[in-house]
Structure 1
Amino acid sequence: MPQLLHLDASARSDSFSRELGVAFVDHWKAAHPEGVYTYRDLVADPVQPIDEARVKLATQSSLNGVNDLAAMDEVATAPELAGAWAATRPLIEELLAADVLVIGTPMYNFTVPGALKTWMDRVTLPWLPLAGKSAVILSARGGAYGPGTPREEFDFQEPFLRAYFSVLGLEDLEFVHTELTHAAVMPFLARFRDVHEASSGTALDRVKALAARVPAETPAV
């Protein structure tokens, strides 16, 4: 049966990225009624930032040729590593179990929020295999950063996430952006409200299509 891991990283409980996430999950569950759904709110339940012990964990995994959870369990028995591994292992288990990863994330200061970056720092180990999985990034941006816009070159969100997941072998990566969300609340952007509403509508339509498309079976390992 297919498994979906859903992460939220917005500091706002009523954010546009969270709204897209709810829509995606509803459509995905309808398309995959037998599917397994796991949710993690990276703001309400923040991940522990990496520290020296977590860095040593990555170093030791490389030195010992670790390539799976069981081998990492053996390396992490050292007292100075056990705590770091205890904070890391459950997150990696969730990620490895998922066929589909859905991340709801706003753009903060042209890139991803600290809550999401902390999760990425915590789960990423040299041996982490994500090949064969699918990921959908549900993004909300206060301005416009699409192709041809004046701020296109300021988008460090999508290029960063594409680079991150490609290094880990995950190539099936889709982005859905709702742009100009600030137009809904900031008077000086009021003239762009129609553009925002069109972007939001397009995003919701795309979410529905992607939720039905993502793999229905666990990829062969």
Structure 2
Amino acid sequence: MLLHLDASARRASVSRELSDIYAANWRTANPDAGYVYRDLAAQPVPHIREAWTELCDYVLANQITDINRYVEAVHTPEQAEAWDILQPLLDEVVAADVILIGTPMYNFSIPSSLKAWLDQITFPKMSLRGRRFVVTSARGGAYGPGTPREPVDHQERYLRDFFLGHFNVEDVTFINAELINARIDPNLAHLREKHQESYEAALKEAAK
């Protein structure tokens, strides 16, 4: 199953365009595999609250590593309410073979809508090994290897570290279209050709 998430606040966004291309090609290649879509910007996942932290504490204290046993942590009405939000999100992740995330870079990092989803589904010692993550992203500047702004890339670096450190997943692909702001910022007009090259390369990669 493909779980497809978009996090951009823009309806017409490059990260959405790239994730749509990837999803369409994946579904063509896997017509019977199943598909679930979530728009995290249009229908935001609630931020975690205290009852969620209580669920997390129970899972950690009892060393529960089986995701199917997390429900054992529910003991109060508030925890049941938190679980009702969490359970469908977890079910989607557990059922997925590939998790596709379309996200822009906002302020060197990820949108709060994506962070809220990650916070909801992440518990201590939780493993998603065997699943693949694909991230299609749009970035206003250039943050690739060797660029002056590489050290402040807290989008790809954060997500890559997160998937490995929390989920034990190394199978992660990033498809980045850079210098998006060159389309509209007169001060970046001289970089429009480089942006176009990055954009076209991302389109080809997503289509694979």
Q: Same fold (TM over 0.5)?
A: yes
1:38 to 32, 36, 39: 36
Question: Which residue identity lines up with residue 182 of structure 1 in the other structure?
Answer: N
Shift, 1:127, TM fit: 4.3
Partner of residue 101, structure 1: 99
Partner of residue 154, structure 2: 156
The CA distance in 1 between the partners of 2:63 and 2:154, in whole Å, is 33
The CA distance in 1 between the partners of 2:204 and 2:103, in whole Å, is 18
The CA distance in 1 between the partners of 2:75 and 2:91, in whole Å, is 18
Cα distance change on mapping 1:156 and 1:69 into 2, 3 Å:
closer
Q: For 1:138, what is the secondary structure of its paired residue?
A: strand
Superimposed CA distance per residue, residues 32-60 of structure 1 (whole angstroms, 9 cap, x where no aligned partner): 12221110000111001011111111001
Partner of residue 187, structure 2: 188
Q: For 1:174, what is the secondary structure of its paired residue?
A: strand
Retained in 2: the 8 A contact 1:133–1:170?
A: yes
The CA distance in 2 between the partners of 1:76 and 1:178, in whole Å, is 42
The CA distance in 2 between the partners of 1:207 and 1:185, in whole Å, is 24
Q: For 1:190, what is the secondary structure of its paired residue?
A: helix
Query: Taking every aligned residue pair, what percent have the same amino acid on both sides?
Result: 46
TM-score for both structures, normalised by structure 1: 0.90
The CA distance in 2 between the partners of 1:53 and 1:77, in whole Å, is 10
Shift, 1:69, TM fit: 4.1
Retained in 1: the 8 A contact 2:164–2:170?
A: yes
Partner of residue 129, structure 1: 127
Retained in 1: the 8 A contact 2:67–2:126?
A: no
**Structure 1: 4+ residue segments shifted above 3 A:** none
1:198-213 aligned at under 5 Å gives the runs 198-209=197-208
Shift, 1:159, TM fit: 1.0
The CA distance in 1 between the partners of 2:71 and 2:183, in whole Å, is 49
Shift, 1:67, TM fit: 2.7
Retained in 2: the 8 A contact 1:17–1:140?
A: yes
The CA distance in 2 between the partners of 1:47 and 1:39, in whole Å, is 13
The CA distance in 2 between the partners of 1:153 and 1:63, in whole Å, is 36
Cα distance change on mapping 1:70 and 1:23 into 2, 3 Å:
closer
Q: For 1:102, what is the secondary structure of its paired residue?
A: strand
Q: For 1:201, what is the secondary structure of its paired residue?
A: helix
Q: For 2:110, what is the secondary structure of its paired residue?
A: coil
The CA distance in 2 between the partners of 1:156 and 1:57, in whole Å, is 28
The CA distance in 1 between the partners of 2:160 and 2:200, in whole Å, is 24
Superimposed CA distance per residue, residues 122-180 of structure 1 (whole angstroms, 9 cap, x where no aligned partner): 11012432101001110100000111111111111111101100021111001110000
Q: For 2:126, what is the secondary structure of its paired residue?
A: coil
Q: For structure 1, which segment, 72-81 or 31-40, has the greater mean C-alpha deviation from structure 2 after superposition?
A: 72-81
Q: For structure 1, which segment, 188-197 or 113-122, has the greater mean C-alpha deviation from structure 2 after superposition?
A: 188-197
Q: For 2:141, what is the secondary structure of its paired residue?
A: coil
Question: Which residue identity lines up with residue 12 of structure 1 in the other structure?
Answer: R
Retained in 2: the 8 A contact 1:68–1:127?
A: no
Q: For 1:128, what is the secondary structure of its paired residue?
A: coil
